[in-house]
Amino acid sequence: MTRQAERSRLVDANRRPSGFGRFRRTVLVVLLCGFLLWLDGTSGPGRAEADTEPGQDKSPAKTAPSVSAPLNSHMGPFVLQSHAFFQLLRLGMNPWMTPSLEPGQLELHASVTWVNLWGWKPARYLVDGEVARVSWTLSSGLTRWLEVRLEVPFTLRTGGILDKPIEGFHDAFGYVQAGRDAFPRNRFRVVFYQPGGGEVRLDEGDTGLAAGDLTLSARWALYEGTKWLPAVGLSQTLKIPTGQNEGGGVDGAIALYLSKKIWKGYGYFGLQYTRYGQSEILGISMRPDQWSFLSCLEIPVSDRISLLVQDLIQTAAARDFYAFSEPTHELAAGLKFQFHPEALLEFGLIENLFNYDNSPDIGVHFGLSWRFG
């Protein structure tokens, strides 16, 4: 069957494969297996205490400070914002729920997130390409309850390299391609057909590396929590239009964070309200505000490794523009590894949920943070 015939066949069949549920089950099985292994390790006999001479101090030896915090938080969620197409151009929730810094302490965090974007509805829109977001963040502890943060992001647009592996995966497991194989591979192309007429296009001439907008944030640790009550934090963020993307505008957000130790794991919850300064992006009318909700479960499998699964839900970005006027659901699952008392490495896989055309098809996230001072 030719690609032209395949494209015609897919006009009415352009939907997410029903077999996608297998991926979610696989993620849950992997997390469950890790959880059972952790229980097996923690239920074994403890190490016997070393013998000491009479009068010798039996207090535990001093160790290097750890990035982990006691009681109601551990390593925290992935420092990962939404990578939906329009959301990459605006201010979104970037979970700031890592353990608090000491006064005078600094933390440098670097991350790279690579996503494949795909969405196609004939005569409505086509989003086909890949985007890498590189972020450098410096945080400083001013007092025991106040921190400030500066983020400098960059965005790389490209045709990418993932189309062939994704199509091969779909073929191997019997999933439909949802129109992918009706278009050239590894090409960057964005086309929006406006409801009132006209169209907007981005193509290979719009690829490359571009600076993003700077963000300034402050976080207050309001309450440390107890055995029964969660820790409470509050943050405020301001986005300054210093970058080269189409988002522009001054955006502001306020977020409430809760974290709680739940049996052997940790639960994190975030709610953010964002107000935007730009009413249109690429000629598409945007909503003036947005709500974001984060839920995350962290399961430590050892003193230095934690498994994480988190879901970021955000209300619609566009005012009245097909799938982009629906909420986004982005699932991330992976781990954090504390390879040094003051350093963490994080790795996660990203998938969209429920509304498939308005958020990343698949992605990978790497992050590295280091505390000093």
- Tens-digit pLDDT profile for residues 53-83: 444 444 444 444 444 445 899 999 999 999 9
Q: State residue 247's pLDDT score.
A: 79
Q: State residue 13's pLDDT score.
A: 43
**Within a domain: 155:** yes
Q: Which residues of the chain have pLDDT under 50?
A: 1-27, 29-30, 33, 35-69
CA nearest neighbour of 313 among 288, 331, 290, 292: 292
Q: State residue 34's pLDDT score.
A: 52
Q: State residue 42's pLDDT score.
A: 42
**pTM score, whole prediction:** 0.79
Q: State residue 156's pLDDT score.
A: 95
**Within a domain: 170:** yes
Q: State residue 122's pLDDT score.
A: 87
- Tens-digit pLDDT profile for residues 298-318: 999 999 999 999 999 999 999
Residue 150 DSSP SS3: strand
State the Cα torsion 204-206-211-214 to the nearest 10°: -130
**Within a domain: 146:** yes
Number of independent structural domains in the chain: 1
In Å, what is the CA distance from 284 to each residue of 171, 196, 287? 35, 11, 10
Query: CB within 8 A of 153, min separation 6: which ones?
Result: 133, 134, 135, 136, 211, 212, 213, 215, 243
Q: State residue 29's pLDDT score.
A: 47
Range of the domain at 350: 78-174+183-372
Q: State residue 31's pLDDT score.
A: 53
Q: Tokens representing 255?
A: 């977020």
**Within a domain: 10:** no
Strands (E) across the chain are located at 106-121, 125-141, 146-158, 189-193, 199-202, 208-211, 214-223, 231-240, 251-262, 265-275, 280-281, 284-285, 289-300, 305-314, 328-340, 343-352, 362-372
Per-residue H/E/C for 247-311: CCCCEEEEEEEEEEEECCEEEEEEEEEEECCCCEECCEEECCEEEEEEEEEEEECCCCEEEEEEE
Q: What percent of the chain has pLDDT over 90?
A: 59
Helical ranges in the chain per DSSP H: 3-10, 21-42, 163-172
Handedness of CA 222, 365, 23, 5 (dihedral sign): positive
**Within a domain: 276:** yes
In Å, what is the CA distance from 27 to each residue of 79, 164, 332? 20, 23, 10
Q: State residue 119's pLDDT score.
A: 86
290: CATH = 2.40.160.40
Cα–Cα dist 187/163, whole Å: 9
Q: State residue 166's pLDDT score.
A: 75
